[in-house]
Structure 1
Amino acid sequence: MSRLDTSGDDYRARRAAMLAKLAELDAEHARAVAGGGPKYVERHRARGGLLARERIELLVDPDSAFLELSPLAGWGTEFPVGASVVTGIGVVEGVECVIVANDPTVRGGSTNPWTLRKTLRAADIALANRLPLINLVESGGADLPTQKEIFIPGGRVFRNLTRLSAAGIPTVALVFGSSTAGGAYVPGLSDHVVMVRERAKVFLGGPPLVKMATGEEAEEEALGGAEMHARVSGLADHLAADEHDALRIGRRIVRNLNHRRAGPAPGPVREPRHDADELLGIVPEDLRVPFDPREVIVRIVDGGEFDEFKPLYGTSLVTGWARLHGHPIGILANARGVLFSEESQKAAQFIQLANQARTPLVFLQNTTGYMVGTDYEQGGIIKHGSMMINAVANSTVPHLTVVMGASYGAGNYGMCGRAYDPRFLFTWPSAKSAVMGPAQLAGVLSIVGRAAARARGQDYDEAGDAAMREMVERQIEAESLPFFLSGRLYDDGVIDPRDTRTVLGLCLSAVGNAPVPEPAGFGVFRM
């Protein structure tokens, strides 16, 4: 049952604020979609090449959804938004696959530090959920000025390909253009390789490097062309006539994988009772103002039906059971931000119940952290908060996290933030995350500074203190915003609240490709 007043002033103000944030989000997504800009897009088309997202669209099943991941990677850095690669989950011949597509219009598709992090995250998702990995390759290799940040950790890209194959998870490389130096190992370590005639170039060292290293005058096609690899070296399993042919062959390869879902099938799907559009008016712009997460829950779960667990105990945390797109789930959602001892114990018990039932957990975050103060310390907030964190850390059922509002302090950990490896984590444009709120952090620094001045017997610089607090508050506010955090891959994307049900449904479907995990073995709970 919903108590949301969609005709009230508060609702209209919250909706207007969210729509303004969504307009900013659309603008940033447009920057990522634009790739390297009109000049480089037209140059790529003139060479007969398809754009990265066009390749994906032709690869996936017609009219199927593509869940793009980390589209804002690199935001706020010296590198372009999107990090010169498109990653996501799409359905190919009825099989959910992780797709990684280099964007050759952005610095030739070269790999910068954020490209690497985004690519590694995609491989982690493929491994955790047993999804075939398809690489659409066209890259100039490492962004050489940043090689110190790429070279050593970049070896994980190749390690991941071998681990996926060893785990029985298929890997496919469709090579459209250059794949040189370390990039040559992407097709070299993939189970299935398709190369486009006259376009694909795969070699450990291109003609200039070969000339410098050995003195040999090598010709590109003989050194690493698609025809040579199909007829002579045997690296190419299939020689494609053009890009469209390569994508057709790629679809045929997936069709012949005989890949099966190992998880349970979902049940019947029912739409929520309330309009998803109303999600725009729930979260206050001032995150210090609480909101009822049940208003979110009834708009994303099947039939709007939510079977609440312990509704009268630990009321700052809402827990309970529901179904989403036919998948059974357990939900933990912050109601008033602060987590007390009762909420922590309630969460630990609920997580154990979900693990016994092998039910995935969805965390809806809006938390300022665990409560502090003499009474709460004496009441055991540390051991009770630790109990909740222990339960989250050792739970083996899939976790999905959505940060709706605040995500501060250890509350981020207890509610399954990025450090606790949820299968997927998304944020709303209203979200903020940091060690604590900007004003609180600046205030703590001020108190510490005053104490230090007293200890030295010095007068405290009040003007300097005011300037410091203002600077720190501005910095922490900027660094806690969702675009900043998403740019550093602390989530898998900033999403429109209205898309929450769809995004979670796609994630639950992807999770179902992996077998049900082994039961959890929890550590010692301090009682």
Structure 2
Amino acid sequence: MTLLGSAFDAASPEATTNRTAMLEQLAEIDAVAAEVVEGGGAAAVERHRKRGKLTARERIDLLLDRDAPFLELAPYAGYGSQFKVGGSAVAGIGIVEGVECMIIANDPTVKGGSTNPSGVKKTLRMHEIAIQNRLPVISLVESGGADLPTQKDIFIPGGATFRNLTRLSAAGIPTIAIVFGNSTAGGAYLPGMSDHVVMIEERSKVFLAGPPLVKAATGEESDDESLGGAGMHARVSGLADYYAVDEPDALRVGRRIVSRLNWRKAGGPRSHSPKPPRYDSDDLLAIVPPDLKNPFDPREVIARIVDDSDFDEFKPLYGSSLVTGWAQLHGYPIGILANARGVLFSQEAQKAAQFIQLANRSNTPLLFLHNTTGYMVGKEYEQGGIIKHGAMMINAVSNSTVPHISVLLGNSYGAGHYGMCGRAYEPRFVFTWPSARSSVMGATQLADVTYSVSKASALAQGKPFDEDGALAVRAMIEKQITAEAMPLVLSGLVYDDGIIDPRDTRTVLGMALSAIHTAPYEGADSFGVFRM
């Protein structure tokens, strides 16, 4: 039998401590999530409703199939910046007429839906996900274009928004724009570069320049409707393919467009009636300790997310700091790599490289569960070849062509973050738990290194060393790195696709795997040169 056992005791003092800490972290995340949901705030939402308009989230709800799930992505974009958290857009994967689609909705309650630097990052990430997974893109447009005071951070990178729409179309991936209000300047190119365009009578206004700018530039007098109204675009310019009478009608038309796409998934789950895990997902709140210096067994996590808690472990007695093995999740086959004791040694790196090769031979997606402080250092390990073995693992990750998903459970530091397929290695999706931390190294270690280097430098130059000053700098650096390693900070920079409640991990991964299987994929048949 390959069913995972469990030594976890939910009533133990350790589990109680872990659960309390995780719930406190989730409460902090939930407080920020409430800010995201409120958009531009109560006053802005009320003003929007008085105009007879739906909010971005209400538009998405009406677009989706009844009771269909919506996997919101990058909800915390812009956290810690001068902008409203959320990137002035709501985005994610939802099911429309049975088709998984990437939905990107401008939030007009946040500065009229204008795009800010965080929104650009978020939108480009959504396009990347859509291209990789061949997801039709539905843009729910109501945007004043670029947030002009921050144009220097938007104009140049933001051009990729329009490039991506044309590349999606060229790749045969449908793009649909439903215009709900003003779509000005750069916002006008969203419908202009989409395959299908829906506009609303007396609501949609699409123009490169509004009447005031036209008058200033050319002296021409014009009004909104004749310059860019839905009626004009439906009857004169031809930009509007469909003419709706109101917002619900426009969303109905959008659904009909999707129903006529004749869109098919490349593959489905091996089992259409997968068995749930044998252990309670609520236990996932209590497995990771608040002090990440204390190890935890990732098998306890695996047992609560894979089908029937059934896991074929690969090389269980070799390189035991890394757990590898095969399972199914919501019927989809996966290979799993999970850090067991933080540090990666040469055996773990070699084991990972072989496992990744095998996954590519069998066309099996890979799930990386992070809790690593990096590759082991020291004379013994340097002489034993840790650099070349770590490079072997990173080589395998870099050149693997099966889909990857990463979930940061605990630490994800240094080159270990790279070897476990961090953001730079282009996993299809990256999610974090509230307990996760990620930086070049641990905050204490980084501060210690800075202190030691400054002291050694002073002594080498024969200069007096200010011990008190150096200790103050060391404390400041440790505090800074601790703050920068937090999940909300990383999520605000769109370095992940969302912070998830541990109890939702199986559901989120199932939705991600389903989206992945919309596109065909094939394992790599060659890798870079492995140093042996």
If the TM-score is normalised by the length of the shorter chain, which range does it land in?
over 0.9
Q: State the match for 1:128 in structure 2.
A: 132
Query: Residues 368 and 421 of structure 2 are in contact (CA less than 8 Å); yes or no, is this contact kept in structure 1?
Result: yes
Aligned pair 1:417/2:422, yes or no?
yes
> In 1, distance between residues paired with 2:105 and 2:7?
45
> In 1, distance between residues paired with 2:523 and 2:16?
47
Q: State the match for 1:288 in structure 2.
A: 293
> In 2, distance between residues paired with 1:78 and 1:62?
36
- Stretches of structure 1 that go unaligned for 5 or more consecutive residues are none
Query: Residues 487 and 499 of structure 2 are in contact (CA less than 8 Å); yes or no, is this contact kept in structure 1?
Result: yes
Letter in 2 for 1:453: A
Query: Residues 229 and 236 of structure 1 are in contact (CA less than 8 Å); yes or no, is this contact kept in structure 2?
Result: yes
Letter in 2 for 1:370: Y
Q: SS at 2:180's partner residue?
A: strand
Query: Residues 66 and 89 of structure 1 are in contact (CA less than 8 Å); yes or no, is this contact kept in structure 2?
Result: yes
Query: Residues 134 and 173 of structure 1 are in contact (CA less than 8 Å); yes or no, is this contact kept in structure 2?
Result: yes
CA deviation vs aligned residue, 1:293-327 (integer Å, no higher than 9, x gap): 00000000000011100000000000000000000
Letter in 2 for 1:130: R
Q: 2:237 aligns with which of 205, 217, 233?
A: 233
Letter in 1 for 2:283: E
Q: 2:54 aligns with which of 50, 54, 59?
A: 50
> In 2, distance between residues paired with 1:118 and 1:187?
19
Kindly report which structure 2 residues correspond to 1:113-262, keeping only aligned pairs within 5 A, or say none: 113-262=117-266
Of 214-223 and 510-519, more deviation after overlay is shown by: 510-519
Kindly report which structure 2 residues correspond to 1:12-411, keeping only aligned pairs within 5 A, or say none: 12-267=16-271, 268-411=273-416
> In 2, distance between residues paired with 1:266 and 1:113?
41
Query: Residues 263 and 516 of structure 1 are in contact (CA less than 8 Å); yes or no, is this contact kept in structure 2?
Result: no
Letter in 2 for 1:387: M
- Stretches of structure 2 that go unaligned for 5 or more consecutive residues are none
> In 1, distance between residues paired with 2:174 and 2:192?
14
- TM-superposed CA distance for 1:183, in Å, is 1.3
Query: Residues 72 and 487 of structure 1 are in contact (CA less than 8 Å); yes or no, is this contact kept in structure 2?
Result: yes
Q: 1:480 aligns with which of 485, 492, 511?
A: 485
CA deviation vs aligned residue, 1:51-83 (integer Å, no higher than 9, x gap): 000000000000010000011100011001101
Aligned pair 1:427/2:432, yes or no?
yes
- TM-superposed CA distance for 1:208, in Å, is 1.1
Letter in 2 for 1:357: S
RMSD of aligned C-alpha atoms? 0.7
Q: 1:491 aligns with which of 493, 496, 507?
A: 496
CA deviation vs aligned residue, 1:353-391 (integer Å, no higher than 9, x gap): 000000000000000000000000000000000000000
Q: SS at 1:78's partner residue?
A: coil
Query: Residues 361 and 523 of structure 2 are in contact (CA less than 8 Å); yes or no, is this contact kept in structure 1?
Result: no
- TM-superposed CA distance for 1:277, in Å, is 0.2
**Cα distance change, pair 518–339 in 1 and its aligned pair in 2 (3 A):** closer
Q: SS at 2:438's partner residue?
A: strand
CA deviation vs aligned residue, 1:184-237 (integer Å, no higher than 9, x gap): 111011000000111111001111110111000111100000010001100000
Letter in 1 for 2:14: D
> In 2, distance between residues paired with 1:238 and 1:323?
43
Query: Residues 89 and 97 of structure 1 are in contact (CA less than 8 Å); yes or no, is this contact kept in structure 2?
Result: yes
Query: Residues 362 and 523 of structure 2 are in contact (CA less than 8 Å); yes or no, is this contact kept in structure 1?
Result: no
Aligned pair 1:455/2:493, yes or no?
no
Q: SS at 1:505's partner residue?
A: helix
Query: Residues 269 and 330 of structure 2 are in contact (CA less than 8 Å); yes or no, is this contact kept in structure 1?
Result: no
Query: Residues 144 and 185 of structure 2 are in contact (CA less than 8 Å); yes or no, is this contact kept in structure 1?
Result: no
User: How many residues get paired?
Assistant: 527
Of 171-180 and 511-520, more deviation after overlay is shown by: 511-520
Letter in 1 for 2:251: L
Letter in 1 for 2:122: K
> In 1, distance between residues paired with 2:270 and 2:217?
57
Q: SS at 2:197's partner residue?
A: strand
> In 2, distance between residues paired with 1:177 and 1:25?
32
> In 2, distance between residues paired with 1:387 and 1:103?
45
- TM-superposed CA distance for 1:264, in Å, is 4.1
- TM-superposed CA distance for 1:459, in Å, is 1.8
Letter in 2 for 1:514: A
**Cα distance change, pair 266–201 in 1 and its aligned pair in 2 (3 A):** farther
Query: Residues 293 and 334 of structure 1 are in contact (CA less than 8 Å); yes or no, is this contact kept in structure 2?
Result: yes
Letter in 1 for 2:316: P
- TM-superposed CA distance for 1:458, in Å, is 1.3
> In 2, distance between residues paired with 1:180 and 1:75?
26
> In 2, distance between residues paired with 1:168 and 1:437?
45
> In 1, distance between residues paired with 2:500 and 2:471?
36
Query: Residues 25 and 435 of structure 2 are in contact (CA less than 8 Å); yes or no, is this contact kept in structure 1?
Result: yes
> In 1, distance between residues paired with 2:390 and 2:421?
13
> Given the two structures, how large is their TM-score scaled by the length of structure 1?
0.99
Q: SS at 2:154's partner residue?
A: helix
- TM-superposed CA distance for 1:518, in Å, is 5.3
- TM-superposed CA distance for 1:263, in Å, is 2.5
Query: Residues 394 and 520 of structure 1 are in contact (CA less than 8 Å); yes or no, is this contact kept in structure 2?
Result: no
Q: SS at 2:503's partner residue?
A: helix
Q: SS at 1:498's partner residue?
A: helix
Q: SS at 1:368's partner residue?
A: strand
- Identity score, percent: 69
> In 1, distance between residues paired with 2:27 and 2:212?
47
CA deviation vs aligned residue, 1:428-479 (integer Å, no higher than 9, x gap): 0000000001110011011110111012111210000110011000000000
Aligned pair 1:470/2:468, yes or no?
no
- TM-superposed CA distance for 1:182, in Å, is 1.5
CA deviation vs aligned residue, 1:324-373 (integer Å, no higher than 9, x gap): 00000000000000000000000000000000000000000000000000
Query: Residues 124 and 161 of structure 2 are in contact (CA less than 8 Å); yes or no, is this contact kept in structure 1?
Result: yes
Q: 1:505 aligns with which of 510, 518, 521?
A: 510
